[in-house]
Amino acid sequence: MALQEELTIDRRDIRTMPRRRGLLLPQALGYAAMLLTVLIIGLPIYWTVIASFKTTAEIYRIPPTWFPLAPTTTNFVAAWEGAPFARYYLNSFITTLVGSSLEVYFAITSAYALAFLRFPRKNLIFIILLAALMIPAEITIISNYLTVARLGWINTFAGIIVPGAAIAYGTFLLRQAFLSLPFEVLEAAKVDGAGHLRTLTNVVVPMAQPAIVTMALLSLVAKWNEFLWPLLVTNTAEMRTLPIGIYWLRNQEGVINWGVVMAGSLFLIVPVLLIFLWLQRYIVEGIAAGAVKG
């Protein structure tokens, strides 16, 4: 009996070997593509980090060194003293947090209206929304600038924040997410006497948490890294944001001190990285909660 069982197990292993071999090639290609993606994205970031700890002579050295031979923190001191980064940080935090909060708020409320409310010409409004997605942001710069100038918002936080307080992409993304929610739960909330505001805050927002957090993360990164619009609408150093500060740091002298520029770039990268790591936990928790049936 024992010999027969061993023969049966061996036959099963022989049958599954071709399947395992057939899976090895796709898995290997998948890992290779992942490794290539990490190298393409990670190498510039790694070079930025190590260059910020190098001297100027070592940065221009050929062949390049992949580790700082004599690590130094003078680049960070020079970058912080070379431009008013404390003010840049304050401006970036204000414009990013307020602008992203408004963008998420308008996206949630407008997406709920397009998904669950009935009103005339709703489909037409959604078509106009889709058309707005196809218009490059550069086309609206002149009209937005003229509007901001007429309102007297040049070189103000309102001038930086208000034109980007609502975007079509956020509404479209959340509308699609809201439509995928279980309709039975919304009907149960209506039967219990919940109005639209209560349904939105107590049912829709918690269930759509992964999509909302993803949209908020995209908004935060975009507004934190925004360069062109804050550059056009501000004209004093006191209202500049971090990306513009790094640009002026780069052009202060005829010879670019790349170590200082790379150190200043880390001032821009690290906060976004920390925010992403924090929000990633909520994305995972939201996906896990949405997978539980009950």
179/221 same-domain check: yes
197/253 same-domain check: yes
Q: What is the mean pLDDT of each run of 10 residues along the chain (294 residues)?
A: 50 54 74 86 85 83 82 84 84 92 92 87 86 83 91 91 86 87 81 82 86 87 90 88 82 68 85 80 54 40
3 state DSSP class of 119? coil
Give the pLDDT of residue 254. Answer: 55
Give the pLDDT of residue 233. Answer: 92
Give me the numbers of helices (H) and strands (E) for the chain, helices first please.
15, 0
Is the Cα torsion angle 86, 92, 95, 99 positive or negative in sign?
Answer: negative
116/241 same-domain check: yes
Give the pLDDT of residue 97. Answer: 92
Give the pLDDT of residue 132. Answer: 83
Give the pLDDT of residue 249. Answer: 76
> Would 69 be classed as within a structural domain?
no
Give the total number of structural domains in the chain: 2
Give the pLDDT of residue 55. Answer: 82
Amino acid at 162: V
CATH of residue 220's domain is 1.10.3720.10
Residues belonging to the chain: 294
> Would 67 be classed as within a structural domain?
no
Instruction: Give per-residue pLDDT as tens, 130-164.
Output: 888 888 888 888 889 999 999 999 999 999 999 88
Give the pLDDT of residue 7. Answer: 46
The DSSP result for 219-265, as a single string, is: HHHHHHS--HHHHHH--SGGG--HHHHHHHHHTSSSS--HHHHHHHH
CA distance 205 to 208: 5
Domain range enclosing 30: 2-51
